[in-house]
Amino acid sequence: MTRDSKIYIAGHRGLVGSAILRKLEAAGHRNLLYKTRSELDLCDQQAVRSFFERERPEYVFLAAAKVGGIHANHRYPAEFISHNLAMQSNVIDSAWRSGCQKLLFLGSSCIYPRMCPQPIREEYLLTGPLEPTNEWYAVAKIAGIKMCQAYRQQYGFDAISAMPTNLYGPNGNYHPENSHVIPALIRRFDQAKVEKVSEAVLWGSGTQRREFLHVDDLADALVFLMQNYSELEHINVGCGEDVTIQELASLIAETVSYQGKIINDTSKPDGTPRKLLDCSRLFALGRKPKIRLRDGMKQTYDHFLNG
């Protein structure tokens, strides 16, 4: 993948896609291709095929997806499975048909069984039941992995899959109900500070453990994998460390300077008890994250205030 290679970034406005775009631009890539949803509906098979036949990108980063937190997954299960299946199927198939040299598909750590051993190795996929609060999204992402593998086996298409852990950073979704935990808490605690509210609510018990990776570290790993990884099996992308959600909430409260009390709403679901990826395969290739959670949280909050 040279600086002149034609590279398509699907989902360039999202958290991951925008980070990939920043990374490629900073590296001097000059032939970048991207479209807004109004310009190209990835759920429209004919539109996607026509786009690929016309543009014929050499490399594709498939970062487009319908994403959200526990509430959104519970409320919109049909959209989470149907939209993601349609988008990824259309892009993967059209990329292969148009002669694309390589495609990188972005999955999620929620693909793994709810109660699998920790840290989670790639081979634990499909060894047990999924977490019910996000199974619709997880099933779609598993299908994407298997589609990449099938196209590699049958057609020799160089399609790879990367499974990132929980992500945060610039251009996150701060919707009050449908966002993931970090942007949700940043918004909630900042609002509580501004309104001088003495208490702020944290969904769940706070005892569940999660791993968090800054999206710029993810983008660095993805560009590296596009250039250096070509295997049938998907590969985990994380940082190798986790925290409890209660610890995370305290860190975010400190970051936004909210000094009120954090109240746990235990009527809300916790989700998977623990989710920590085993990233030894990626680390062995020489790629490790650089941004510490505390530093990344400050940067993310600054972007929230100025964005």
Residue 14, annotated as binding a ligand: yes
Q: Does residue 56 have a known ligand-binding role?
A: no
90 is in an annotated binding site: no
Does the annotation place 223 within a ligand binding site? no
13 is in an annotated binding site: yes
62 is in an annotated binding site: no
Query: Does 270 carry a binding-site annotation?
Result: yes
* 190 marked ligand binding residue: no
214 is in an annotated binding site: no
Catalytic option among 137, 168, 229, 258: 137
Could you confirm whether 137 is annotated as catalytic?
A: yes
Residue 225 makes CB contacts below 8 A (sequence gap 6+) with: 104, 160, 162, 235, 237, 282, 287
The response to whether 16 counts as a known ligand-binding position is yes
Task: Confirm whether residue 203 is marked as ligand binding.
Answer: yes
Q: Which positions are catalytic?
A: 137
Q: Binding site residues for NADP(+), as ranges?
A: 11-17, 106-109, 141, 164-167, 180
Residues tagged in the binding site annotation: 11-17, 106-109, 141, 164-167, 180, 188, 203, 210, 270
Write out the binding residues for substrate. 188, 203, 210, 270
